[in-house]
Amino acid sequence: MKTRLIKGARILTMCTGQEPFVGDLLIRGERIEAVAPVIDSPADEVIDARHMAAMPGLINAHNHTPMSLLRGFSDDLKLMDWLEKKMLPAESRMNEEDVYWGALLAITEMIQSGTTSFADMYIHMDAVGQAVLDSGMRASLTRGLVFFEDDGGKRMQEAIDLVDKWSGSGDGRITTMFGPHAPYTCPPEPLSEVIALARQRRVPIHIHLAETKEEVVKIRDKYNQTPTEYLYHLGLFEHNHVLLAHSVHLTRKDIGYLRGMRGGVAHNPVSNLKLGCGISPVTDFHQQGIAVGLGTDGAGSATTLDMFAEIKAATWLQKLDYGDPTRLPAEHALRMATIESAKLLGIDHEVGTLVAGKKADVILLDLNKPHLQPAHNLYSLLAYSATGADVDTVIINGQTVMRNRQLLTLSVEDVLSQAAKRAARLVEGL
C-alpha cells in the first residue's frame, strides 16, 4: 500500500475550532493516516510543501459538467431565453460521446482549480460516470428528470439504472442521487413517485429550487403555493436527504419549512449573479441551522468552474446584501466549499476535513506568489486572494492526479481537441 508524506505545509484541516498550523500529513493508500506538527515515518513519496498550503479538496455541490461545451455560447441573456433559445436546442444535439468529452473538459478544469468532488445532473450519465472513472475524480451522479411529456417511464428507468449501476463504483468514488429537475418541470404525480422511490431506496434527491422569480410566479399561478411549499407538502423533506440547488427566492416561511432537513442548499453565487437571478438568503439559512455548500452550476451559465471564484462571490454577496463586512467571514466561506458541501453530497463522513481516517482528498496551493504574500491570515488569504491557478497538487482517494500543475490521469491536449470539435458542431446555426 503506497504511502505519501507531505512535509512542512501550512495545514488547514477545516475542522471547527482548529487554527491553521505548520505540519505534516501522512497518506497510506486511499486514506489519511496522520496529521500532526511533525511526522517521522518512512514513505514511498515525500512532498516538500514548505511553501504551500494544504487543505481538503474543494467540493462542487451543483454542476452540469457536459455544459462546458457550451461555455460562452449564450451569455448576457435572461435565464429563460438562455435556456429555451440556446441551451436546450444545443443540448438536444448532444450524443453520449459529446457528454463524455464535455464532462472530461469540466473535470480537467475542476482538477486544475482544486476541486476533488462534484455533484452532477445531466443526461447520458453513463458517459459522465466513465469520465469520472477515467480521471480519478470523485462525484455524485444524477440523471436529470423532466416530466413535461409522457415518455413511457424511460427517464425514470434511466435514473434507476444509474443508481443500480454506478453507486459505489470507482473504489467508492462514485455515489448517486435521484434528480427531479425542478418544481416547475415536475408535476405532483411523477414527483411524488420519485420522492417515494428515493425514500424506499435510501438514495438522496438533487433538485433545483426557486432559482428565478419567474419560477415562483409559475408555481404560484398553478398551485397557489411557493416552490418550497410545493415540495414541502409533497413530503420531500420528511424522510429524504435533499440537495437543493440555488434556493434564491425563498420567504422566511419557506426557510422555516427547511429547518431540520437532511442535506441542505447548494449556493451558486457566480451563476446567480451572471444570470441576474438574485442573492440567496445564505445568512438566514445559517441562522436556521441549514447546511449551505457551494457549487458553480454548469459552465454554460457560470462560465467558470473555479470554486475559488464562488468562495469570493459568496462572501462578498452576503456582505453587500446586509451592508455588513462581518457577514460570512473567510473561514466560513471556505467551510462551505469543503465540509459543508460534503454534507450536501452525504459524504462528510469520508471527506471535507483533513483528519486521520478520512479519504485522502487533499490539495496543495503554492503560496510563493506576490498575490499570496504576506500570509498573515491563511483563511483570508485563500478566500479572498487565491485562485484555482494557484493549485499545485491534487490528490483524490490517495491518488495524485495533478503534480506541479501537470495532470497525471488525463491528456489535456486530447480533451481540448475533442471539446473544440464537438462544441463547434453543437452550436452551429443556433
List, for residues 30-54, the tens digit of each pLDDT value: 999 999 999 999 999 999 999 999 9
Grouping H, G, I as helix, E, B as strand and the rest as coil, residue 249 is coil
10 Å CB burial of residue 42 (0-12, 13-18, 19+) is: exposed
Residue 25 — φ and ψ, nearest 5°? Answer: -140, 125
Which DSSP symbol is given to 376? S
Per-residue model confidence (pLDDT) at position 87 = 87
pLDDT by residue for the chain (430 residues), tens digit each?
A: 999 999 999 999 999 999 999 999 999 999 999 999 999 999 999 999 999 999 999 999 999 999 999 999 888 888 778 888 888 899 999 999 999 999 999 999 999 999 999 999 999 999 999 999 999 999 999 999 999 877 878 999 999 999 999 999 999 999 999 999 999 999 999 999 999 999 999 999 999 999 999 999 999 999 999 999 999 999 999 999 999 999 999 999 999 999 999 999 999 999 999 999 999 999 999 999 999 999 999 999 899 999 999 999 999 999 999 999 999 999 999 999 999 999 999 999 999 999 999 999 999 999 999 999 999 999 999 999 999 999 999 999 999 999 999 999 999 999 999 999 999 999 998 8
Grouping H, G, I as helix, E, B as strand and the rest as coil, residue 27 is strand
Q: Read off the pLDDT of residues 218-239 as tens digits, 9 standing for 90 and up.
A: 999 999 999 999 999 999 999 9
**Distance in angstroms (rounded) separating the CA atoms of residues 331 and 169:** 33
Measuring CA to CA, how many Å separate 85 from each of 18, 63, 91, 136, 430?
A: 49, 21, 11, 35, 8
10 Å CB burial of residue 3 (0-12, 13-18, 19+) is: middle
Per-residue model confidence (pLDDT) at position 285 = 98
Nearest Cα to Cα of residue 73 among 293, 245, 301: 301
For residue 48 the three cell numbers come to 516538500
Contact assessment for residue 177 and residue 204, using Cβ atoms and an 8 Å cutoff? yes
- CA atoms within 13 Å, Cβ hemisphere of 272: 28
Per-residue model confidence (pLDDT) at position 88 = 85
Per-residue model confidence (pLDDT) at position 65 = 98
Per-residue model confidence (pLDDT) at position 74 = 85
**Distance in angstroms (rounded) separating the CA atoms of residues 311 and 357:** 27
Per-residue model confidence (pLDDT) at position 82 = 82
Per-residue model confidence (pLDDT) at position 148 = 80
Strand locations in 82-237 (E): 115-122, 138-145, 174-180, 205-209
Per-residue model confidence (pLDDT) at position 406 = 98
Question: Per the omega criterion (within 30 degrees of 0), is the bond before 374 cis?
Answer: yes
**Distance in angstroms (rounded) separating the CA atoms of residues 152 and 149:** 9
**Distance in angstroms (rounded) separating the CA atoms of residues 161 and 74:** 33
**Distance in angstroms (rounded) separating the CA atoms of residues 200 and 194:** 10
For residue 250 the three cell numbers come to 425563498
For residue 359 the three cell numbers come to 479519504
Nearest Cα to Cα of residue 364 among 395, 331, 409, 410: 395
Residue 135 — φ and ψ, nearest 5°? Answer: -90, -20
Domains of the chain: 3-55+352-407 (2.30.40.10), 58-345 (3.20.20.140)
10 Å CB burial of residue 200 (0-12, 13-18, 19+) is: exposed
Helices (H), 37-187: 79-81, 88-91, 96-112, 125-135, 154-166
User: Between vectors from CA 62 to CA 59 and to CA 64, what angle results, nearest 5°?
Assistant: 115
- 406 forms bridges with which residues in the sheet? 403
Contact assessment for residue 116 and residue 351, using Cβ atoms and an 8 Å cutoff? yes
For residue 287 the three cell numbers come to 441562522
Amino acid 428 reads E
Pairing of strands 3-11, 45-48: parallel
pTM above 0.95, yes or no: yes
